[in-house]
Amino acid sequence: EPEVTQTPSHQVTQMGQEVILRCVPISNHLYFYWYRQILGQKVEFLVSFYNNEISEKSEIFDDQFSVERPDGSNFTLKIRSTKLEDSAMYFCASRTTGGAGNTIYFGEGSWLTVV
């Protein structure tokens, strides 16, 4: 069964450093997402991406965050200058088309620890 893959599974970074989280969505999918989950809290929407541009973003997704699809397979989330409060699990997700009846599939996550 096709799946969304994410790397790294766990990253520890110093506060103020840049971090790039990588995702390979399911191959025929066109819509891409990033979510995050702070330990013990809800899964929170960050951003959606379609046709090489951001479709929607949440208040969390400020200027420190950016997303990119650098080639035909990868989808990345960059945090420019990490803060302690960026420590969380980050989930990438994808879906095939935009119809309301289609399903979003999630990766297993990248656990980011900022120290």
Partner 1 sequence: DAKTTQPPSMDCAEGRAANLPCNHSTISGNEYVYWYRQIHSQGPQYIIHGLKNNETNEMASLIITEDRKSSTLILPHATLRDTAVYYCIVSPGTYKYIFGTGTRLKVLA
List residues near partner 1 by CB under 8 A: 4, 31, 33, 35, 37, 39, 42-45, 48, 50, 55-56, 89, 91, 93, 98-101, 103-109, 111
State the DSSP H helix or E strand holding residue 54, giving kind and residue range, or none if neither.
Answer: strand 53-57
CB of 13 to partner 1, least distance (A): 19
CB of 81 to partner 1, least distance (A): 25
Q: Which C-beta is closer to partner 1: that of 18 or that of 56?
A: 56
Q: Which C-beta is closer to partner 1: that of 79 or that of 111?
A: 111
Whether the Cβ atoms of residue 110 and residue 21 lie closer than 8 Å to each other:
yes
CB of 82 to partner 1, least distance (A): 19
Torsion-angle region of 16 (φ positive above 0: left; ψ -120 to 50: alpha; else: beta): left
Angle ∠(94,96,101) on CA atoms, nearest 5: 100
Q: Which C-beta is closer to partner 1: that of 56 or that of 68?
A: 56
- Listed residue (50, 47, 43) closest to 96, CA to CA: 50
